[in-house]
Amino acid sequence: MTKRTAPAVVAGALTLSLAVSGCAGFGNLGNEPGVTTVTLASVNNPQMQDLAQLLPEFNAEHPDIKINLIMMEENDLRNATTKDVATRGGQYDVMTVGAYEVPIWGRNGWLADLTDLAAEDSEYEVDDFFDPVIEGVSYQDRMYAAPFYGESSFLMYRKDLFEQAGLEMPERPTWQQVADLAAKMKDPEQDRAGICLRGKPGWGEMFAPLTTVVNTFGGQWYDMEWNAQVNQPGFTDAVEFYVETLQESGERDPASFGFTECLNLFQQGRAAMWYDATSAAGTLEAEGSPVAGKVDYVAAPVNKTEESGWLWTWNLGINAESQKKEAAWEFVSWATSKDYQELVGEEYGWTRVPPGTRQSLYERPEYREASAAFADITAETMSRVNPTQPGVAPQPWTGIQFVGIPEFQDVGNQTSQEIADSLAGRQTVAEALEKGQRIAQIAGDIQKREAGK
Amino acid sequence: MTAATAPAVAGDKKPAAPEIEKSAGERGERRFARGIVLPAFIVAIVVTQIPFVVTIYYSFQNWNLARPGARSFAGFDNYVAVFTGGAFLPALLNTVVIVGSAVIVSLALGLLFAVLLDRQFRGRAVARTLLITPFLVMPAASALIWKWSMLDANVGMVNWALGLLQIPPVAWNTDHPGMTIMFVLTWQYTPFMMLILLAGLQSQSGEVIEAAQVDGAGPLRIFRTMTLPHLRTYAELATLLGTVLMVQVFDPVNIMTKGAGNSKTLPYLLYERAFIGQQVGEAAAYGVVTVIVTIIFTTLALRTLFKVFTEEGGGGR
């Protein structure tokens, strides 16, 4: 608390001295009277950096609200904001919260309920958001954050290379077809992998695509009673398939490949296919990209389910402890509005608009023109995915490529490290998943205990 | 030896002054000195020991950051988790292997570079600066350099060089995660070892070497029987400081291997428990155990080291 009062005292003293001296030149030093300062803790992705650049536009419309923006790298952000909300510090008024945390934090009462605020604002058009996106930021049908950016996953492939090889990509491929195509498309002579799949340990790295594979192979992390299912057939089949495909036709050093590395590899033309986030398409098709115009996009490969794309969103949530909720909502609703999307489109170009949240964006001719190659498939995937039951069996949490319990980061991280050992052949997949099962069951037991309370 | 005798001579002169008066003044001076040091001492205790006591308290708590409602007294559960979790001993072993091998290799390379730099040649200052550079680069930056420029499976320089020898590319991070960390550490700390050893080489008396040459000793013989024993204390110091610095390795693990395989060191394990697991209690228990293990290790290591130092000093006189 002393930390927070000290600047206020200093600011107060400054304001006083300014008033006494009658000098108005240093107005920006302290808190101006009548101006509410809203502190925003944000992830430093490109879309949020654009938002930072556009803050003066918000200020022009709302001269009485000042946004104090703090940008952090994703993991730092997660640590800083979790610490703040868990200890009820109230340091940040608005935070970018990932799809993984929103339902957990909503359940804990750490985020302000935005349902009524959003419904009351007729210009905000909350119905315009994709249904799965709203489901993803809700807990018991109450909305706890406003979606700013959304993505799913799909399969990207080099249509020029496929044409050369005389191969054809099915419109809705199965994983088996993809593995066969990858084996045919790999070319060690040309230093080219058949497919790039993330192998870097981490729940948000390897397990983002891998959990979607698990879902469509009929596996799942937990059943309805929170019993871990990691060493069960569905899960094992999926991981074995993933590891085999990587070893057979994947990139050379899988354990160092996450999103960024795969993007690099695919852009350099060293991979014929890549299964990853829909947001990658914007970079691949951007001006100056060596593969622009050579890539085509199809839905996420499936096995036993109809659809297997993931769902990730970055959302703006308001801290339940914030004293400035009204001003915070003014900002949140501005940044997630249609008007903001239009502003970005006009200022920076339509490819830079934060995608994947509002259906209306995909109906805009300007956006459709700018992202012709992937707009339709993205919109289709975003509206088809099912975060409440992505797999074959029902699950007790909301979320596709993650499990909505606080322990999942840890469970996913440790299990993915074990699988990285399997990638290198240091242990079999069965051995890795046996350890994963133990790790997952510890978390499952905690969840059984806590859910009962 | 000249350095050792110099203060002794200065000390010899002191007792010449009246003794009782001096000691009374000295007592006052000492009291004054203690008074001055005390605040800093108290701050040091507050800053280092109180957090440790708090950590011990946390280690008996069942506390997950993301489950604030479930905080409770855990007894020794966290400590049991440390030893039955199966992560602590492998991480300890990984740390010993990675740091141990990196210390040995960087000490050997450091000696080589120090000997090369200890002679007059054109551009010596430039060569020295270039050789020191890896130590000045931020650890995270050097990890990135190694990840992308050196060890990348497609465009890395190491695999390119192996390709020239007709060796197929190696997937360093996947197949040899521990070794990649060792590479980065060695690259980073060789200059550090080199600097300390170079200081040792330059403190070696030229006259003695000249005398040995006059007596007919060849360069190899001089190096083996005179330079190496002279460097011993410097090498020990370099080993001790190098180990202390390298044991903290975190950046390359986080950037290159994410703790896969045998690259999960103790600091990374602690980070994982605290910030990925968000298990404050368990992480605190890991921290406490690590401190205890470190105290045991350093006590043993320091004792042997000091024994070596005194033996060396006694032999010299």
Cβ pair A158, A187 in contact under 8 A: no
| Chain B contact set for A197 (CB, 8 A) | none
Dist. CA A150–CA A160, nearest whole Å: 29
Q: Tens digit of pLDDT for each residue in B107-151?
A: 999 999 999 998 888 988 899 999 999 999 998 999 999 999 999
| Chain A contact set for B260 (CB, 8 A) | 201, 255, 417, 420-421
Dist. CA A418–CA A400, nearest whole Å: 21
A165: burial class by Cβ within 10 Å (0-12, 13-18, 19+)?
Answer: middle
pLDDT class for A257, splitting at 50, 70, 90?
very high
Nearest chain B residue to A409 by CA: give it: B276
ipTM score assigned to the predicted complex = 0.80
Mean pLDDT in residue range A163-174 = 93
| Residues of B engaging A, defined by a Cβ cutoff of 8 Å | 64-70, 147, 151-154, 169, 171-175, 177, 256-261, 264, 272, 275-279
Are A201 and B260 inside 8 Å of each other by CB?
yes
Mean pLDDT in residue range A153-171 = 93
Residue A270: CB atoms within 10 A of its CB come to: 19
Torsional class of A355: left (φ above 0), alpha (ψ -120 to 50), beta (otherwise):
beta
Beta-bridged to residue A153, according to DSSP, are A277
Are B68 and A108 inside 8 Å of each other by CB?
yes
Question: Residue B87's pLDDT is what?
Answer: 87
Dist. CA A128–CA A402, nearest whole Å: 25
Chain B nearest C-alpha distance from A201 (Å): 6
Q: What percent of chain B has pLDDT over 70?
A: 89
Closest listed residue to residue A250, CA positions, set A277, A276, A271: A271
Mean pLDDT taken over chain A: 88
Identify which of A202, A254, A453 has the shortest CB distance to residue B174.
A254
| Chain B contact set for A75 (CB, 8 A) | 275
Dist. CA A344–CA A342, nearest whole Å: 5
pLDDT at A342 over 90: yes
Question: Residue A189's pLDDT is what?
Answer: 85
| Chain A contact set for B172 (CB, 8 A) | 253, 256
Closest listed residue to residue B64, CA positions, set B211, B278, B287: B278
| Chain A contact set for B174 (CB, 8 A) | 199, 253-256, 420, 423-424
Q: Tens digit of pLDDT for each residue in B186-237?
A: 999 999 999 999 999 988 888 888 888 888 888 888 888 888 888 888 988 8
Task: Mutate one of B151, B255, B258 to test the A interface: name it (highest A CB count within 10 A).
Answer: B258
Residue A126: CB atoms within 10 A of its CB come to: 19
pLDDT class for B19, splitting at 50, 70, 90?
low
Question: Residue B306's pLDDT is what?
Answer: 64
Dist. CA A387–CA A377, nearest whole Å: 18
pLDDT class for A24, splitting at 50, 70, 90?
very low
pLDDT class for A3, splitting at 50, 70, 90?
very low
Are A253 and B174 inside 8 Å of each other by CB?
yes
Dist. CA A222–CA A441, nearest whole Å: 9
pLDDT at A164 over 80: yes
Q: State which amino acid sits at residue B207.
A: E
Nearest chain A residue to B148 by CA: give it: A261
Q: Does A83 contact chain B (CB < 8 Å)? A: yes
pLDDT class for A254, splitting at 50, 70, 90?
very high
Are A108 and B259 inside 8 Å of each other by CB?
no
Are A417 and B256 inside 8 Å of each other by CB?
no
pLDDT at B10 over 60: no
Question: Residue A230's pLDDT is what?
Answer: 95
Coil vs helix vs strand at A43: strand
Chain B nearest C-alpha distance from A33 (Å): 37
Identify which of B66, B172, B276 has the shortest CB distance to residue A413.
B276
Q: Tens digit of pLDDT for each residue in A196-242?
A: 999 999 998 999 999 999 999 999 999 999 999 999 999 999 999 99
| Chain A contact set for B275 (CB, 8 A) | 75, 79
State the residue for tokens 């109906």: A363
